[in-house]
């Protein structure tokens, strides 16, 4: 049995175990008749959307409604999708996954049923309509699956990333709503120790937000770790550029350093010199932003569990909470004892694993 990966990113909600059903005789066929079920992986920037899942009476656009609209324009009739994970407002996805049933009907001869589309055709066509509609959503993978395959209930493992950027300066607009920005320095070794306290099988009631639909707060957290990563986008602000010029370029040759014009108090930055200096001159933590990524991996999570755990880790990193307090917080079994929850903007649903024949 192989385990192909299809990734997905987003806010965590309880994933209920699937009720076992007797498979029909033709359940092993990829398509029943000419109705084809596709497993579709998408990436999106969640800032513009009211979460992934469409809701009755909900104002605002969702990722699911944008995706289904693109599918409907492609096949010529309404299409429903079922997601693996229902991300909340402002949460992003590197690869979220859903399944979609499509019956291919001839547009030239109404009523004539044609063989299913190839996955590559589906991907290209749906992306065309997503781009035409100006959506921040893109299909990154499509594959055919059996008709009884369910994107949510068949998931074996989910992985989330949370980005925290530490910087004393305002971030570039290109990083806006992509991470949790803090000016406070973080004690990373202490945060890693706190991660180790949370890994394993526990009652996570202290990390369970109101409205959670899970029947039990017992969960097994397979991995929780923090590491420093390069910034995905690093466009220094003007103030940061001047600071780099004043501090990092001192001692370099004049033609490679910042120059100041007479009568002008504002430093001018030589772009080529900046690129060279960033490689040659060791930077200090105070000079440039640091990006830390917290990774959480489990079969399923409680509602807001990841963001509540990140809130705790950040509190440990700033010294508000001690590592020795973490086990006591778990034992308290009430979310009222937890530090403030991390904002949605830094959360990414990174991967969903399935076991397929």
The reported pLDDT for the residue numbered 24 is 40
Q: Is the pLDDT of residue 324 over 50?
A: yes
Say which residues have a Cβ less than 8 Å from residue 143's Cβ, sequence separation at least 6.
Answer: 4, 6, 38, 39, 119
Q: What is the pTM of this model?
A: 0.77
Question: Rg of the Cα trace of the chain?
Answer: 24
Q: Which residue has the higher pLDDT, 108 or 247?
A: 108
Q: Does residue 14 form part of some domain?
A: no
Q: Does residue 113 form part of some domain?
A: yes
The reported pLDDT for the residue numbered 5 is 44
Tokens representing 302? 């409680």
Mean pLDDT score of the chain, rounded to an integer?
81
Tell me which of 25, 88, 141, 203 is the catalytic residue: 88
Residue 88 designated active-site = yes
The reported pLDDT for the residue numbered 248 is 41
CA distance readout (Å), 87 to 50, 92, 99, 175, 279:
9, 8, 16, 20, 38
Domain that holds residue 105: 25-145
Average pLDDT over residues 28-50: 81
Q: Does residue 20 form part of some domain?
A: no
In terms of domains, do 211 and 308 share one? Answer: yes
Q: Does residue 182 form part of some domain?
A: yes
The structural domain count of the chain equals 3
DSSP letters spanning 30-41: SEETTEEEEEEE
Q: What is the dihedral of CA 126, 127, 133, 134, to 10 degrees?
A: 160
Q: Does residue 1 form part of some domain?
A: no
pLDDT band at 263 (very low <50, low <70, confident <90, very high): very low
In terms of domains, do 116 and 53 share one? Answer: yes
């Amino acid at each position: 049995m192989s385990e192909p990966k299809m990734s997905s990113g987003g806010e965590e909600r309880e994933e209920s175990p699937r009720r076992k059903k007797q498979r029909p005789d033709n359940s092993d066929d990829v398509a029943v008749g000419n109705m084809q079920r596709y497993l579709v992986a998408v990436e999106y920037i969640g800032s513009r959307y009211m979460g992934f899942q469409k809701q009755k009476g909900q104002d605002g656009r969702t990722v699911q409604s944008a995706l289904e609209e693109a599918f409907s324009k492609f096949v010529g009739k309404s299409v429903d999708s079922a997601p693996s994970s229902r991300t909340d407002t402002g949460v992003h996805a590197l690869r979220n996954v859903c399944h979609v049933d499509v019956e291919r009907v001839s547009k030239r001869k109404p009523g004539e049923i044609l063989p299913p589309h190839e996955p590559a055709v589906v991907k290209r066509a749906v992306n065309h309509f997503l781009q035409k509609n100006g959506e921040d959503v893109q299909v990154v993978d499509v594959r055919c699956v059996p008709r009884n395959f369910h994107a949510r209930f068949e998931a074996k493992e989910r992985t989330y990333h949370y980005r925290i950027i530490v910087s004393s300066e305002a971030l570039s607009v290109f990083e806006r709503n992509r991470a949790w920005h803090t000016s406070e320095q973080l004690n990373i070794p202490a945060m890693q120790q706190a991660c180790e306290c949370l890994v394993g099988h526990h009652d996570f009631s202290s990390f369970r937000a109101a409205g959670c639909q899970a029947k039990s707060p017992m969960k097994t957290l397979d991995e929780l770790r923090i590491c420093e990563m390069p910034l995905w986008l690093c466009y220094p602000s003007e103030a940061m550029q001047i600071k780099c010029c004043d501090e990092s370029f001192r001692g370099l040759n004049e033609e490679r350093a910042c120059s100041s014009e007479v009568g002008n108090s504002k430093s001018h930055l030589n772009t080529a010199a900046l690129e060279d200096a960033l490689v040659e001159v060791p930077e200090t933590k105070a000079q440039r932003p640091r990006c830390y990524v917290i990774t959480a991996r489990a079969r399923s999570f409680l509602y807001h569990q990841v963001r509540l755990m990140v809130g705790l880790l950040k509190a440990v990193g700033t010294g508000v909470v001690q590592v020795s307090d973490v086990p006591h917080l778990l034992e308290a079994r009430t979310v009222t004892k937890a530090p403030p929850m991390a904002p949605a903007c830094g959360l990414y649903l990174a991967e969903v694993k399935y076991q397929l024949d």
